A and B are shown apart, each in its own frame.
Chain A
């Protein structure tokens, strides 16, 4: 009897143990599909890019030649790379600055809940839902030097035609304008929502505290929407650093490299010139750039962001 009871006890213990193991690994099993997808399509390519940047490879040959850091040495010695980097940074600064700044101005204008404002919000948001390829084609027509809408309007006022997508001094600005046009509605909509979430009584208290428009914005509105601003800036910066589609369709990095950016350059070296190692080195530079920006941004600004 005692032996049977001991056996039963052992069996119960084993059952409990297997239950507790299952209980412990259950969460990991649940997130496993997402982890696998992330690992295959995000983590592995990053490491593989780092690996490829140490080789000379034409994408076709069965063998790759190890060259160490030569790809990086060539990259940093290449004036075209520095122009590409400068283009990317200029593009990012202006797209984010104008997109978020302009979005904030529009949001302040449209924050009141009225039917007109709701309609205007929908109108201004609409470019965001259009595909980049369509937007690129649309703006290629609008900005066409000879029969584009923009020059047609300028001509009406007697202003001479501008080669929006062919002049080295103008083309990057044109691409910035298009990107801002596409993203400003999204930024504005998110900021409208943040502004509408600020309790009205804070503004009433500010009126009683004699706060003028600027003091109210600086001391109440801006700190209250700081989490949203923080989010928009980081998302827009990363998206701008990775700009590709509009350049690929509209300018091919030209004229004279004036609109070439890191990602387009990476694409060209990797898939047009078949210099995979060099392209991977560009990719690593971009990765480091985004990582450094993100870390610095979070370290410096996250403490100044007010979370509820």
Chain B
């Protein structure tokens, strides 16, 4: 809820924001390999939309089609209602940050930042002003005369951002821009990107395979698999109300526990719908049954033996062997349960996710 309430300073009147729409977009390569079959997607203006999914799901291809770096085989790409399929990448009002930054290695930081403006024939004094402003914002003022090879990974990332920002684009496209940074810097840059989005209020389209990045940054997540959109919604909806087993298991750490209903002893008394083929629950919803806790009649209770535990600080992640498979669950601020200990785990009926035999969500 907090993420949805993010205040963005839209400058719609000034034309700084732009919605993007993909209508029946298909992408097929020369070798007849179809990457995207039929994509329909609306990216709202001013949103921070994250395309997320496993490798090869088509998220980068989608981004590159929006950028104009990949031809669209069929279908329409619209920006603010205008068809953009044949428009050159440089004239789409977009800026892109690449995974490896794609900085020009032979140019200084200053030249890298101003290259797009020089090509767009922006007046020299305007270029100088913008470069100065942007380099101050991203903290690069003292590195303007250096070459990219003389900068650290984080500084290069900032140059890539500055190069995108200086063009004052309507849309920022980012293709896994944090994946080359170490964990600490990645977390820091994540926060900075959120702040940047809040300040600029422009549309951000961000590609990642990291669900944590998606959940923490997005105002809208588009979850993809095998060239198809599995679910497009706000992060909390994706997490709390997944439409299928893939979405349920892709988002959330550790991944959701899902087992065939038929394998779970005592499943019959749970009063599940007839088409419920799989039963799932998030590790955070697996509760260790202790004295004084009374399960309701429709709650799932089963025996398990602790096999592995991982201390994460405020939480402990356990793997426990149950009769129907290995279950993961978490405890928060509790004493560690030793490996080998036999426990009873409980899952409340309201915390269960049910899926039919096609792995689509069954709501009860």
Contact = CB atoms under 8 A, between A and B. Distances in A.
A26 interface: no
A78 interface: no
B117 to A, nearest CB: 9
Interface size class of B (residues with CB under 8 A): 20 to 34
Contact of A224 (B68, B98, B106, B120): B106
Given A215-B119, A219-B115, A208 B105 contact: no
Contacts of A210: 88, 90-91, 116, 119-120
A224 B115 CA distance: 16
Contacts of B102: 199, 201-202, 204-205
Contacts of B326: none
A112 interface: no
Nearest to B173: A208
Contact of B90 (A199, A208, A219): A208
Contact of A208 (B95, B103, B104): B95
Contacts of B95: 208
A211 interface: yes
B90 A220 contact: no
Nearest to B95: A208
B8 to A, nearest CB: 24
Contacts of A211: 90, 115, 119
A182 B119 CA distance: 39
Contacts of A220: 104, 106
A212 interface: yes
A239 B107 CA distance: 33
A228 to B, nearest CB: 13
A224 B103 CA distance: 12
Q: By DSSP majority rule, is chain A's interface helix, strand, loop, or mixed?
A: helix
A306 interface: yes
A110 to B, nearest CB: 20
B229 interface: no
Contact of A209 (B68, B90, B106): B90
Nearest to A306: B106
Contacts of A212: 119
Contacts of A207: 68-69, 88-90
A202 B104 contact: yes
B130 to A, nearest CB: 14
B119 A209 contact: yes
A209 B115 contact: yes
Given A205-B98, A210-B88, 13 more contacts: A202-B105, A205-B96, A205-B102, A206-B104, A206-B115, A207-B88, A208-B94, A208-B95, A209-B116, A210-B119, A219-B106, A219-B107, A306-B106
Interface of B: 67-69, 88-91, 94-96, 98, 100, 102-107, 115-116, 119-120, 149, 163
16 contacts: A199-B100, A199-B102, A204-B67, A204-B98, A205-B98, A205-B103, A206-B115, A207-B90, A209-B116, A209-B119, A209-B163, A210-B91, A211-B90, A219-B104, A226-B106, A306-B106
